[in-house]
């Protein structure tokens, strides 16, 4: 049976993943050493080619069969089906791009289109690994198809609470779903799998003993949400991709308020949900004494912003950025992020010149000096951040100025520099980022720092008017999710 392009691509990806596993932990994954397998099973010169894409599908398939079901053949099958589904989705998207939009049509569908046109949409929503267990995927219904079926969009606000476990940095511990009439359709705590590393109680107010006692699991929540996501359902949230990753659900269409609104003159920054509510809805969020996040409040806030934009004749999609406020006592600090967990405070001081290290009073970070010494964890994505406090503001400024490297700006204009941080006694190192606490537009006060840092929307605020034309789905294009 000939190998399809999707199957060959899946074989290559599985082999590359095996190579990465072996490189990260050779003793744990000896069977993933593709190069060693080639030398033992394939003749020259083919066994000298390290790149899987330079081998035949038959060679790759034989190696994959040695990996077992979880890492090998089952994964290839899942990836192949996923690539075929993505290809069908791309065909539908191409068909949908030809839609002639009626400016007097449903305003909610216009906001779905606006979200889809955001420059970060594909990266955020089209790379969800929904082929991996325990992910679930709802039936895909393109906007144009829904419009042609004269479906009124059913808007559901979604917000999740998350913690960090030993195998998931965004493990689900709570979820709320509300409809456009303010009804709470789902509100529950969720018991996360694995061991909790960081409960994030200071953000959510949730305690580990409560979520560990919850009878609801991720699978239970997925069943309920998939049941709610009938054709025409639009999920709404602020930076909703993070909630979908926590829920492990791939759903379209969506409206992401983090992709609808932006700050003026800050192309890489997006207003927080609280700022948008205060500016556009004239109400303040999180007014409880503790100030914890509430998933119902956040879900309703995102949904209310969408309903506001639907009602307004000329909705505002750009808001003025508030002044960045910095506590006076923070001026003597520098912020360092992208630090591998397990890095010691003493090692971090080596980022600075010897002259400046003598004036460091403290290095504070939640996950510095962690007990893990695993090289994959230290060199991987599990990073943390810290604050380095100097004896006074001048010492902090001088230390930053003496750092080698080009000065760049973060999303709200604060100067930062990248620096190499040695990981151990060998030559291995990682790049960390040292950042000032203030920008040129900062205001020194007793207030806390404000401002979000997500990619911005550069899409025009209005949809161009044009004559509505009745359109039909080409019979030659099968809808992703339909039975063949």
Residues 182-218 as b/e (b if ≥16 CB within 10 A, e otherwise) read eeeebebbbbbeeebbbbbeeebbbeeeebeebebeb
Asked whether the predicted pLDDT for residue 373 surpasses 50, the reply is no
Query: Of 52-66, 107-121, 235-249, 445-459, where does mean pLDDT reach its minimum?
Result: 445-459
Task: Name the phi and psi angles at 377, rounded to 5.
Answer: -70, -40
Beta-sheet strands, E only, within 180-307? 184-189, 196-198, 233-237, 249-250, 254-256, 262-263
Please list the helix, strand and coil fractions of the chain in percent, rounded to the nearest 5, in that order. 40, 20, 45
Residue-range domain boundaries for the chain: 5-79, 106-319, 325-441
110 contacts 117 by C-beta, under 8 angstroms = no
Residues 354-375 as b/e (b if ≥16 CB within 10 A, e otherwise) read eebeebbeebebebbebeeeee
Tokens of 429: 């190192």
Beta bridge partners, 362, equal 389
- Per the prediction, the chain carries an average pLDDT of 85
Instruction: Select from 3.40.640.10, 1.10.3720.10, 3.30.70.330, 3.30.505.50 the CATH code of 325-441.
Output: 3.30.70.330
Predicted local distance difference test score (pLDDT) of residue 343:
86
pLDDT band at 374 (very low <50, low <70, confident <90, very high): very low
Beta bridge partners, 189, equal 174
Architecture of domain 106-319: 2-Layer Sandwich (3.30)
Asked whether the predicted pLDDT for residue 324 surpasses 90, the reply is no
**DSSP character string of 56-113:** -HHHHHHHHHTT-IIIIIHHHHHHHHHHHHHHHHHHHHHHHHT----TTS-HHHHHHH
Instruction: Convert the pLDDT of each residue in 83-93 to its tens digit.
Output: 999 999 999 99
How far apart CA 254 and CA 258 sit, in angstroms, is 12
Predicted local distance difference test score (pLDDT) of residue 452:
37
User: What is the mean pLDDT of the segment spanning 9-36?
Assistant: 93
Predicted local distance difference test score (pLDDT) of residue 60:
96
The stretches of 338-392 forming alpha helices (DSSP H) are: 345-349, 354-357, 375-379
Instruction: Convert the pLDDT of each residue in 442-481 to its tens digit.
Output: 666 544 333 333 333 444 344 344 444 444 554 445 554 4
Does 329 or 245 have the greater pLDDT score?
A: 245
Sequence-distant (6+) residues with CB within 8 A of 171 are 162, 163, 164, 165, 192, 193, 194, 196, 246
């Amino acid at each position: 049976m000939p190998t399809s392009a999707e199957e060959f691509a899946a074989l290559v990806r599985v082999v590359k993943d095996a190579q990465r596993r072996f490189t990260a932990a050779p003793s744990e994954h000896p069977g993933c050493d593709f190069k060693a397998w080639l030398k033992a099973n394939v003749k020259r010169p083919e066994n000298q080619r390290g790149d899987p894409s330079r081998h035949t599908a038959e060679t790759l398939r034989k190696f994959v069969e040695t990996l077992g079901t979880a890492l090998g053949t089952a994964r290839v099958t899942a990836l192949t089906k996923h690539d075929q589904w993505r290809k069908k989705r791309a065909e539908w998207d191409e068909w949908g791009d030809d839609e002639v939009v009626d400016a007097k049509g449903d305003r909610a569908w216009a906001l779905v289109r606006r979200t889809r046109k955001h420059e970060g949409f594909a990266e955020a929503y089209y790379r969800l690994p929904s082929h991996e267990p325990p992910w679930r995927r709802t039936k895909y219904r393109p906007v144009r198809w829904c419009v042609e079926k004269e479906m009124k969009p059913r808007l559901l606000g979604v917000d999740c609470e998350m913690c960090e476990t030993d195998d998931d940095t965004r493990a689900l511990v709570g979820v709320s779903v509300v409809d456009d009439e303010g009804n709470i359709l789902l509100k529950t705590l969720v018991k996360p799998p694995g061991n909790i590393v960081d409960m994030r109680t200071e953000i959510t107010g949730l305690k580990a003993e409560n979520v560990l006692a919850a009878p609801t699991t991720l699978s239970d929540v997925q069943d309920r949400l998939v049941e709610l996501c009938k054709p025409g359902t639009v999920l709404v949230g602020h930076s909703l991709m993070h909630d979908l990753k926590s829920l492990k659900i791939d759903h379209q269409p969506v409206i992401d308020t983090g992709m609808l609104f932006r700050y003026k003159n800050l192309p890489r920054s997006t207003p927080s949900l609280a700022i948008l509510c205060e500016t556009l809805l004239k109400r303040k969020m999180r007014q409880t004494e503790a100030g914890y996040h509430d998933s119902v409040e956040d879900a309703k806030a995102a949904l209310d912003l969408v309903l506001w934009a639907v009602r307004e004749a000329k909705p505002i999609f750009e808001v003025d950025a508030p002044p960045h406020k910095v506590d006076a006592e923070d001026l003597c600090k520098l912020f360092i992020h992208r630090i591998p967990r397990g890095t010691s405070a003493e090692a971090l001081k080596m980022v600075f010149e010897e002259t400046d290290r003598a004036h460091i009073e403290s290095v504070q970070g939640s996950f510095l000096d962690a007990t893990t010494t695993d090289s994959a964890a230290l060199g991987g994505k599990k990073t943390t951040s810290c604050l380095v406090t100097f004896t006074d503001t001048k010492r902090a400024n001088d230390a930053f100025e003496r750092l080698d490297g080009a000065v760049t700006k973060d999303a709200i204009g604060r100067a930062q520099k990248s620096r190499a941080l040695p990981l151990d006694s060998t030559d291995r190192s990682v790049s960390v980022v040292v950042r000032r606490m203030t920008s040129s537009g900062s205001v020194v006060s007793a207030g806390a720092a404000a401002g979000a840092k997500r990619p911005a929307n550069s899409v025009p605020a209005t949809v161009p008017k044009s004559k509505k034309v009745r359109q039909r789905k080409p019979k030659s294009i099968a809808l992703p999710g339909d039975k063949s």
